[in-house]
Amino acid sequence: MIPASFPPKEEIARLTARALLEIKAVHFNAATPFTLASGLPSPTYIDCRKLISYPRIRSTLMDFLCVTVMRDAGFEAFDNIAGGETAGIPFAALVAERLALPMTYVRKKPKGYGRNARIEGVMTPGQRVLLVEDLTTDGGSKLSFVDAIRETGAACAHTAVIFYYGIFPETVGKLADHGIALHALCTWWDVLAEARAQAAFDEATLTEVESFLHDPRAWQAARTK
């Protein structure tokens, strides 16, 4: 069913952050930082994949994602919902079901046999495609997915995510330069505010996380040999 309730963006951000904290998808550890895919350290880590195991939260956040793209992009803006391999696939399916639209998914690279396709499902030239993923950091992976979509002759000018880091200022510009608008439910700043409101972590940890969020590159450089 297409959601018909449009909570304020600030409330969507707060409730999304609260949900991520509730299912322990948020991890803060300043003493022993996590290693990101880039190889750089971070006191923060988030696992949005856990959401698929919590039906009430999953349903609420998918409603939020649908109303966000309808409010920001338009009620009739899309013809196809594409998920990015692999984390974006279940969320794309849930959004497509709510919006009563076809669903496809995009592989990170051709599978190497058969049709050697990157697009699975039916995507046709001229379709307006919404790319759905779980999160974005600096937006880099989105460019490859969007290029694969555009190679079919379809258009892709929007990507929607549950979580956007919101700490790398070049992200929105990088996507915009590629003709892509970003829609997200919450950022690290929203999570930090809700974590403080709940006293979900000790104050020393929250202070260190805040320091990282204000200048992640400097924080990482100081801890990288």
Q: Do the Cβ atoms of 156 and 77 come closer than 8 Å?
A: no
Residue 101's pLDDT is what?
98
Would the pTM count as exceeding 0.75? yes
Residue 114's pLDDT is what?
61
Q: Would you list the DSSP string of the chain? A: --------HHHHHHHHHHHHHHTT-EEE-SSSPEEPTTS-EESEEE-GGGGGG-HHHHHHHHHHHHHHHHHHH-TT--SEEEEETTTHHHHHHHHHHHHT--EEEE-SS--SSTT--SEES---TT-EEEEEEEEESSSHHHHHHHHHHHTTT-EEEEEEEEEE----THHHHHHHHTT-EEEEEEEHHHHHHHHHHHT-S-HHHHHHHHHHHH-HHHHHHHT--
Rounded Cα–Cα distance for residues 155 and 152 (Å): 9
Average pLDDT over residues 25-53: 91
Average pLDDT over residues 67-92: 97
Q: Do the Cβ atoms of 129 and 160 come closer than 8 Å?
A: no
Integer Rg of the chain from CA: 18
In the chain, the percentage of residues whose pLDDT exceeds 70 is 97
| Residue 110 vs residue 13, higher pLDDT | 13
User: Selecting from 3.40.50.2020, 3.40.50.970, 2.40.50.100, 3.80.30.20, what CATH number does the domain 9-212 have?
Assistant: 3.40.50.2020
94-134: per-residue pLDDT in tens?
999 999 999 999 999 887 666 778 999 999 999 999 999 99
148-162: per-residue pLDDT in tens?
999 999 999 999 999
**Sorting pLDDT into bands at 50, 70 and 90, what band is 40?**
confident
| Residue 53 vs residue 30, higher pLDDT | 53
Residue 1's pLDDT is what?
78
